[in-house]
């Protein structure tokens, strides 16, 4: 694995937890992205400098290292379980090659990063899923890392904060990936039974086996505005039930209205909110 180590170094100051090293002003040749909400074209560097937010409030997807940089206090993240990597239990055609190319393109060695960190001074275990690694799909390595993180947190009596983004179970690992739902859920339960706090932030999209396991098992469940959160896709449900789905179905706002999540957490105020919740539960634990 040492040969791949250089790939996983932070790419810039932003990833190390510092401020963005990217220019705030774009040059004319810079690639732009169109906001799906207000349809404005925005230079990529401006999007990155603004926490991947459009001025209209639209939340663009962000990679795990960017999220880490805006969430954890600078220099406090200590990675855990990086050595846990995917095998190819079914010898699924093309899977090994796909893993290799995805590791190079995403500069991550799996679809989740785990570790310990402080968030506005509050110590916690932290996992952040990576949308640019096979759409955050949950294979055996993702399940194992998250399970170990909960075990680590239980032993050390730490809360867990998790950011989810996932297309669901990783089909290339078949049943082995489905087993991760039970494995992670058991670890979450043991953490909960020890009286410890678990907070999830659902980001766009959180679906399939991840929704059906650790994403929805938080004591407090937050979601980013507009995030799609569901189990099966809306089209599949519509085709199966042969009924039109209500407007806004499977969005964070719809879920809030129907009692599935506790609050919408816009990115700009997320860190503050998470640290407040961590602080409240730490005080309750200290006093209890
Ligand atoms: Zn916009």
| The pair of three-digit structure tokens given for residue 147, joined into one six-digit string | 């399970």
Which residues make up the environment of ion ligand 1, defined by Cβ < 5 Å?
Answer: 35, 37-38, 54, 56, 58
pLDDT > 70 fraction of the chain, expressed in percent and rounded: 90
Is the pLDDT at 75 greater than 60? The verdict is: yes
Ligand 1: centre distance to CA 3 (Å):
41
pLDDT in tens, 162-190: 999 999 999 999 999 999 999 999 999 99
Ligand 1: centre distance to CA 263 (Å):
22
pLDDT in tens, 197-225: 999 999 999 999 999 999 999 999 999 99
Q: Mean of the per-residue pLDDT values for the chain?
A: 91
Is the pLDDT at 136 greater than 50? The verdict is: yes
Is the pLDDT at 125 greater than 70? The verdict is: yes
Strands 122-129 and 160-166: what pairing?
Answer: parallel
Ligand 1: centre distance to CA 53 (Å):
8
Ligand 1: centre distance to CA 277 (Å):
29
Angle 246-250-255 from CA coordinates, rounded to 5°: 95
pLDDT of residue 27: 53
Ligand 1: centre distance to CA 222 (Å):
22
pLDDT > 90 fraction of the chain, expressed in percent and rounded: 83
Window from 81-85, 118-122, 127-131, 242-246 with minimum mean pLDDT: 242-246
Ligand 1: centre distance to CA 63 (Å):
19
Which residue, chain included where needed, has tokens 């004319």?
A: 28
**CA nearest to 220, candidates 191, 199, 194:** 199
HSE-up (13 A, CA, CB side) for residue 144: 12
pLDDT in tens, 212-258: 999 999 999 999 999 999 999 888 899 999 999 998 899 999 999 99
Ligand 1: centre distance to CA 279 (Å):
33
pLDDT of residue 288: 64
User: String of b and e for 162-177 (b: at least 16 CB within 10 Å)?
Assistant: bbbbbbbbbbbbeebb
Ligand 1: centre distance to CA 226 (Å):
12
Ligand 1: centre distance to CA 270 (Å):
19
pTM: predicted TM-score of the whole model, two decimal places? 0.88
Is the pLDDT at 21 greater than 70? The verdict is: no
Ligand 1: centre distance to CA 284 (Å):
40
Ligand 1: centre distance to CA 286 (Å):
43
Domains and CATH numbers, the chain: 2-17+62-287 (3.90.226.10)
């Amino acid at each position: 694995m040492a040969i791949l180590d250089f790939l996983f170094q932070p790419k810039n100051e932003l990833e190390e937890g510092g401020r963005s090293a990217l220019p705030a002003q774009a040059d004319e040749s810079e690639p732009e992205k169109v906001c799906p909400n207000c349809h404005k074209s925005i230079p990529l560097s401006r999007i990155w400098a603004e926490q991947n937010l459009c001025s209209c409030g639209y939340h663009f997807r962000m990679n795990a290292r960017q999220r880490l940089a805006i969430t954890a206090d600078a220099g406090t993240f200590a990675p855990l379980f990086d050595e846990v990597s995917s095998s190819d239990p079914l010898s699924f055609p093309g899977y090994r090659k796909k893993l290799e190319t995805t590791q190079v393109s995403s500069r991550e060695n799996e679809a989740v990063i785990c570790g310990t960190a402080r968030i506005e001074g509050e110590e916690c275990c932290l996992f952040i899923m990576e949308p640019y690694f096979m759409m955050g799909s949950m294979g055996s390595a993702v399940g194992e890392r998250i399970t170990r993180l909960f075990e680590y947190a239980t032993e050390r009596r730490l809360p867990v904060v998790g950011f989810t983004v996932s297309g669901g179970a990783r089909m290339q690992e078949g049943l082995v990936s489905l087993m991760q739902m039970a494995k992670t859920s058991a670890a979450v339960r043991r953490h909960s039974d020890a009286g410890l706090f678990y907070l999830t932030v659902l980001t766009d999209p959180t679906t399939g086996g991840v929704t059906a396991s650790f994403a929805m098992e938080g004591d407090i469940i937050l979601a980013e505005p507009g995030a799609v959160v569901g189990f099966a896709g809306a089209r599949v449900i519509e085709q199966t039930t042969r009924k039109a789905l209500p407007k806004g179905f499977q969005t964070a706002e719809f879920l809030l209205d129907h009692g599935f999540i506790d609050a919408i957490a816009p990115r700009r105020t997320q860190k503050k909110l998470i640290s407040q919740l961590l602080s409240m539960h730490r005080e309750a634990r200290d006093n209890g």
